[in-house]
Chain A
Amino acid sequence: MSYRHDVRLAGEGGQGVVTGGLVLAEAAAVYEGKNVVMTQTYAPQQRGGSARAEIIVSDAEIDYPKVLEADVLLALNQEAFDRYHHQVKRNGVIIVESAHVGGEYSGHIKVLKVPLEEVSCHVAGTSQSANFVALGVVSEISDIVSASALRAALRARLPQQVRQMNLKALNAGVLLGRNMKRT
């Protein structure tokens, strides 16, 4: 039986969902040899507006390149959560930035509230690596992509001056994810 993992990363322009998506997709495609298709949607302006990256990982040929129902949804702001939490598989996972996504969610899908930006500030000295904290979590709580492939893709893709801080963020996310699995 072939598999198809649908991943949606959503937030606003400038939060790094497209960069994060690219590293996740390249990790699975180039370093794990899986079939991967990535599309992105963003507003014309560089910052602000909604942004999303959609990644399909499969061992079969991928036709429809957009998310049907997500296995993993990362919602970095409230709008992203409100818009996309309905399109998640029953056994899927929603990871939300706890600083920006509030309210009570009474659905049946597992929601992980993570202080991604706080963790990013703590380990990388900036909130801007929150996207990579999230990727670290994804690698641990799902079998979409491994942390080592993510590290390799990150090193290859990101410019040297931001590589270390994002690696730290990624590694922190991996530890967080590992702890979440235990609880």
Chain B
Amino acid sequence: MPTTIKQPKQSARFMQGNEAIAEGALAAGIGFFAAYPITPANEISEAMARELPARGAVFIQMEDEIASMAAVIGASLGGLKAATATSGPGFSLMQEQIGYAVATEIPSVVIDVQRAGPSTGQPTFGAQGDVMQARWGTHGDHPIIVLSPSSVSECFALTVRAFNLAEKYRTPVILLADEVVGHMRERVSEFPVMEVVSRARPEVHPEWYFPYDNDLGDVPPLAAFGDGYRYHVTGLFHDKSGFPTQRIDEIDPWFERLFHKIEGNTDDIVEVSEEGTREAEIVLVSYGAAARSARHAMKMAAADGKRVGLLKLKTLWPLPEDRIKELARSAKGFIVVEMNRGQVRLDIERLAAGRAAVEGVHRFDGEMISPTSVLKAIEEF
């Protein structure tokens, strides 16, 4: 038998989505990670447990997901970039704390590697059933940012982006992955060096610091506990110093700013990738693992001479509302491809507003949507 050892091809790595998420967190400068074990997100925690202590950062396995998210909020208030990772059942438990982070404007990253549900469902099977939960899982009117990767390299890039957006806009950001993408392995070359954003810190004298000062633009600077700035944090409606208030003239400007910092910056926050949408008669709308089925089908349809494009949502919330409205005028219709019963399709129908037809290809039994079922929908459109 030959004994020569083959050398790996230059810098190519064969890597899992969850591992790439962990690398993204490290590249973004994570300082604290707390989680409770759950399939299919465990590889992220394993990597964090391995990597963080060696870098002087903190990994904690908490007693449950409620505590995990609470710990993330505390660590972030202490000045660290902080994240947790879970799947559907744990994501449900985190909702109250996510709302707290929205209201108190504490940067945090929540990674949900979706599995088939509801309840404990199918731990080792993929699904995209948490899309609306990511948008509306916590109570009360609130804005939120949700990102959805569909490849191993996007797992890396969108994780870095999740941290950047969380820091920039003082908000929780949800990275909504799924079992297929989280467990899938792909060949990747070196990840790109990405810009890393950290939250603005106050420069004023501690006596003059207001953590919720609506006059300072969309995102007031956030002091870390321990930096010498004394302030109050509460989930109750609060005034600029952070103390509870019931005054409408203090609540309204705060609410206005809370929404405006996300909805007024969609140019920066919303990221999509488009292929062939300009000339398309039919636009496939998809995200995450399902976008891979859609893209495969798009190529099959193109080979048949059909004018089909793909609008892939890397940012899931907020949706690219203006772009979808434009496409509703230029295309005959949309086919929404998603591994749920039509959670994004409802919003595409709302945005198409009767100007374009909207169909869906949906599957939610844990298996991926086959390209042929998308192709069939294209042919029958």
Which A residues have a C-beta under 8 Å from some C-beta of B?
Answer: 22, 25-26, 29-44, 62-66, 68, 148-149, 151-152, 155-156, 171
Residue interface bits B272-304, CB-to-A below 8 A is 1, else 0:
000000000000000001001101100100000
A-B contact pairs, 27 of them (CB 8 A): A25-B14, A30-B12, A30-B14, A30-B187, A31-B7, A37-B184, A37-B185, A37-B186, A38-B14, A38-B185, A39-B180, A39-B183, A39-B184, A42-B124, A63-B292, A63-B295, A63-B296, A63-B299, A64-B292, A64-B293, A64-B296, A65-B289, A66-B370, A148-B4, A148-B6, A149-B6, A151-B5
Give complex CA distance A31, B4 in Å: 13
Q: Interface majority SS on A: helix, strand, loop or mixed? A: mixed
Residues of B contacting A25 in the complex (Cβ-Cβ under 8 angstroms): 14, 185
Contact A36 B14 (CB under 8 A): yes
Residues of B contacting A149 in the complex (Cβ-Cβ under 8 angstroms): 6
Contact A66 B39 (CB under 8 A): no
Give complex CA distance A42, B289 in Å: 18
Residues of B contacting A62 in the complex (Cβ-Cβ under 8 angstroms): 186
Given contacts A38-B184, A42-B124, A44-B123, contact A30 B8 (CB under 8 A): yes
Closest residue to A152 on the B side, CB-wise?
A: B6
Give complex CA distance A26, B8 in Å: 10
**What's the tally of chain B residues with a CB closer than 8 Å to chain A?**
30
Give complex CA distance A56, B183 in Å: 15
Contact A30 B124 (CB under 8 A): no
Closest residue to A56 on the B side, CB-wise?
A: B186
Give complex CA distance A55, B294 in Å: 19
Return B363 CB to nearest CB of chain A, in Å: 12
Q: Closest 5 interchain pairs by CB?
A: A152-B6, A33-B9, A64-B296, A29-B187, A63-B296
Residues of A contacting B2 in the complex (Cβ-Cβ under 8 angstroms): 148
Q: Interface majority SS on B: helix, strand, loop or mixed? A: mixed
Closest residue to B13 on the A side, CB-wise?
A: A30
**Residues from 1 to 33 in B contacting A, C-beta threshold 8 Å:** 1-2, 4-9, 12-14
Closest residue to B122 on the A side, CB-wise?
A: A44
Give complex CA distance A33, B368 in Å: 27
Return A123 CB to nearest CB of chain B, in Å: 12
Give complex CA distance A30, B14 in Å: 7
Q: Is B125 an interface residue (CB 8 A)?
A: yes
Given contacts A37-B184, A148-B4, A152-B6, contact A66 B124 (CB under 8 A): no
Residues of B contacting A68 in the complex (Cβ-Cβ under 8 angstroms): 370-371
Give complex CA distance A155, B8 in Å: 12
Contact B187 A36 (CB under 8 A): yes
Residues of A contacting B292 in the complex (Cβ-Cβ under 8 angstroms): 63-65
Residues of B contacting A33 in the complex (Cβ-Cβ under 8 angstroms): 9, 12
Contact B1 A31 (CB under 8 A): no
Contact B9 A31 (CB under 8 A): yes
Closest residue to B295 on the A side, CB-wise?
A: A63
Give complex CA distance A151, B4 in Å: 10
- Between B123, B125, B185, B299, the greatest number of chain A beta carbons within 10 A of the residue's beta carbon is seen for B185
